[in-house]
Amino acid sequence: MSNTSRSTETPARGVLDAAGKLNLAYWMRLTRTLDDAIMAMWKQGRGVGGTFSGRGHEAIAVGAGYAMGPHDVVAPMHRDLGCYLVRGMSPERIVANQLGKADGVTRGRDANLHGLGDLSLNILGFVSHLPQSMPAALGAAMAFQYRQEPRVALTFVGDGSSNTGLFHETLNLAAVQQAPFIVVVENNQYAYSTPLREQMAIDDIVIRASAHGVAGHIVDGNDVAAVYEAVSAAAARARRGYGPSLIEAKTMRMLGHAIHDGAEYVPRRLLEDWERRDPVVRWEAKLLEEGSLSGEMLQRLHAECREEVDMAIQQAERAPLPDPSDVASGVYAP
């Protein structure tokens, strides 16, 4: 099962059939395997600069990405490795980008997961100034409205950026325009080191949607089927012209803000609690339990993901670095 041969289309949108369930298991395991491998490389000193882990966010990134059709646009961020993968960006291009290689997505221009945009895959790259992808995705949605195309744009933000003015400005504008726009708020409890209780005086970020006339839902962000179903419903709604949705996916950031950060400020017990709800393990256990997946199939799936990731890393490490004489190319479109 290669990354590129997997279809991101499910036969019946919003309803997971047996193949769909296995696809989600594959994409989540691939995401986790690649994430683990990247963390290991950086700890071994084989990385360049810093990098980010999306550990704990796999169900959100994969579930939301998988719910979107191939013509829909996604604007993921640094916790959404699984969304890039499920939308067809190869692990090799992603690792090559992280290593600053010439054939990385940004040709050595942008760091780690930043800037992983590719219009041929309908993926918009993000900037550090979150939630800048929010108005960009909204603008894509407004372009679909303008051209009367049945497409949807989806983006991700964190609890941290849900406090910005831009978050509110964008929700308001999306509602006024009734745009086919979805924002998934990955509420992972911490904005860098700042816990929710120091960020906001509300328990649920979703209430910020109702303030602006945007449909809002809370989902268990560690349950990939729940994320998939909620995003599918929001997309169907948007496609029918009923406007934007906000989906608050509750989860936990299982590692630090970035590779350098040991996250000592997070109580261990909190992490232990969330570890028991690990989205990747949980989905595999569910499929085993209901018989959609045998132990042997699962072993094979893990082995395939490891092989795919190992090969991607080998190729990316062998790839050439960019030529410094090329440093100024591409600032402007010709």
Partner 1 sequence: MSEPRQLTYLEAIAEALVVEMDRDPDVLLIGNDIGGSFGGAFKVTKPAAERFGPGRVKNMPMTELAFVGAANGMALMGLRPVVEVQFADFISTAFDSIVQYAATTHYRWGASIPWVIRAPSDGGIRSGPFHSQNPEAWFVHTPGLKVVAPATPADAKGLLLASIRDDNPVIYFEAKPLYRSLRGPVAEGDEALPLGRAQIVRSGTDISIITYGSMLHEVTRAATEVAEDGISAEVVDLRTLKPLDTDAILQSVTKTGRALIVHAANRMAGVGAEIAALVADEAFGDLDAPVRRLGGMDIPIPFSPPLEDAYRVSAARIAETTREMARW
Site residues for partner 1 per CB under 8 A: 73, 105-107, 109-110, 114-119, 124-125, 127-129, 132, 134-144, 146, 153, 165-166, 169-170, 172-173, 176, 330-334
Residues in the chain: 334
Minimum separation from the CB atom of position 191 to partner 1 (A): 17
Which residue's CB is nearer to partner 1, number 45 or number 165?
165
Whether the CB-CB separation of 154 and 235 falls below 8 Å is answered with yes
Q: What is the 3-state secondary structure (H, E, C) of 180-198?
A: CEEEEEEECCEECCEEHHH
Which residue's CB is nearer to partner 1, number 130 or number 252?
130
Beta bridge partners of 245: 182, 215
| Cα pseudo-dihedral 282, 112, 96, 22, rounded to 10 | 20
CB within 8 Å of 297: residues ≥ 6 apart: none
Closest by CA position to 152, among listed 61, 218, 60, 237: 237
Q: How far apart are CA 234 and CA 246, in angstroms?
A: 8
Minimum separation from the CB atom of position 166 to partner 1 (A): 5
Minimum separation from the CB atom of position 169 to partner 1 (A): 4
CB within 8 Å of 137: residues ≥ 6 apart: 73, 74, 75, 124, 153, 154, 155, 181, 183
Which residue's CB is nearer to partner 1, number 56 or number 104?
104
Minimum separation from the CB atom of position 323 to partner 1 (A): 16
Minimum separation from the CB atom of position 109 to partner 1 (A): 5
Which residue's CB is nearer to partner 1, number 135 or number 256?
135
Whether the CB-CB separation of 167 and 239 falls below 8 Å is answered with no
Which residue's CB is nearer to partner 1, number 165 or number 295?
165
Before 91, cis peptide (omega within 30)?
no
Minimum separation from the CB atom of position 149 to partner 1 (A): 9
Which residue's CB is nearer to partner 1, number 22 or number 166?
166
